[in-house]
Structure 1
């Protein structure tokens, strides 16, 4: 799948926003609680949908179902000026009831139509496997060997540095 520069950048920001909402400082999963709070704040956050849509789009997380992956893949390749109207996407995207209510609020904003299109695409991309959609397939065995070699180089460099600082050298690869 090819992502436009626009969606490539927004996707990263959207995933970071979700990650920020995921856990509290103690590592506890608080995503559901924080999403509920975010949804309640949507009317106050509407001024942000033009400049930072990812910060508001997370309110729709889990509220969309996709019926046409082809339409969504085509959408992900578009730049903002080429995006369709929200009404054109309704055959490919279904909103759950609570998300329909949020969408009605968002559509009252002049930028609401484009925001919902962007949100649908971000939510679709987030639902993918998490792998980089532009990354070509690789031979996993070669990749594993390279990573193991990199780990060995880093470990050896770290052991060398510690030895230079006066610590006993312990090499995890030699069994010491």
Structure 2
């Protein structure tokens, strides 16, 4: 599927989350949501990104924003990842990659000349009305969470 644009409605989902619950995106309408897609639990970039978002969680909470990380890893792996690093954000498991594919983020990647399929690190800021307000494609991790927080604060109440 084609990637989503600013102003469009993100694809809805109900997925298992860490700690044994589920999260349904459409049920969060009425509050802003930061939805970030990342490749794999407990890798250096993904760990740094999750730690940065977790460190800013009090500021996101003050703004009434729900922060959700999504990867193809199973819930058990998410639970270990959260416990190991003291993460505070919600993590959902897209094990069959259906949602990642629907967002157009399951893509061919290349590392050291080897081609493989993986998640393109992307963040969506979804406004209270459930529309995409901002998109960060091919995210570079350092400082990203702070930039997302700034953009979220600029959305206003």
**Shorter-chain TM-score range:** under 0.3
**Structure with more relative contact order (C-alpha pairs < 8 Å, separation 6 or more):** 2
* Structure (1/2) with the larger helix percentage: 1
Task: Please identify the structure whose Cα radius of gyration is greater.
Answer: 1
TM-score for both structures, normalised by structure 1: 0.22
TM-score for both structures, normalised by structure 2: 0.24
* Structure (1/2) with the larger strand percentage: 2
